[in-house]
Amino acid sequence: MLCVMAQADNSGYLTGKDGQPIAVSVLARLTGCVLPELELCLAELKENGVLEIDPANSAIFCRRMVRDQERRDVGSKYGKKGKGNPALRTGQPPAKPDAPKKKHTDYRMEDFSTFWQVWPRKKAKAKAERAWRNHVTDIPEIGALVEIVEAQNASEQWQKEEGQYIPYPASWLNAGQWTDEVEAATGSLPGYTSPTNEEAERRLQLAAQLDRAAEATE
């Protein structure tokens, strides 16, 4: 009986192809039940709220099946999510969200050019530019940066063995070595405190390793 209701044009109603209610006697033949037994079953179903009688045409129907079909119809019309597809409800395509504005970053490339000019060991410029862009928000203003480079260039570490231990600019930028403390070859510079011998040696070794790695990838 439920299969007949599900396949009916008016889903949930016990009606035939012509839309007319199926008589209980016809239903008895369809289900293979004797009429008294079927009438007893229908009474039980009505008593438990499974079936009801439509007062308009006396058709037997299942309220739950009818309600489920109504939900399917609404879902099919408006979509499955939330209040439905706006294009289906309004007939207009949904408005496209505004594209997020790209955040502008001032990379200070003129300052980089000045930095490159004063750097004593001009190696791997493209990598130096990338490092500059990556750390530009942390790099001091160009006047202070030039003073730091000149001070470190005059240091004992950088002057040692004809500048062999001067780091590549990309390595120096990536390591944030503008914050390093230095000792000048001819004495201490104002504002700087010399590192310990162990610290100076560690930094020299690190710079040499970074430079070798940079050379290997060129």
Which domains are delineated in the chain? 2-82 (1.10.10), 109-217 (no CATH)
Residue 97 main-chain phi, psi, to 5 deg: -65, 150
Spatial distance between the Cα atoms of 201 and 157, rounded to a whole number of angstroms: 9
Place of tokens 């230095």: 182
Tens-digit pLDDT profile for residues 2-46:
777 667 667 767 777 777 777 778 777 777 777 787 677 777 777
Predicted confidence band of residue 88 (pLDDT cuts 50, 70, 90) = low
- Cβ neighbours of 60 (radius 10 Å): 21
Residues in the chain: 218
The answer to whether the pTM exceeds 0.75 is: no
Residue 71 main-chain phi, psi, to 5 deg: -65, -40
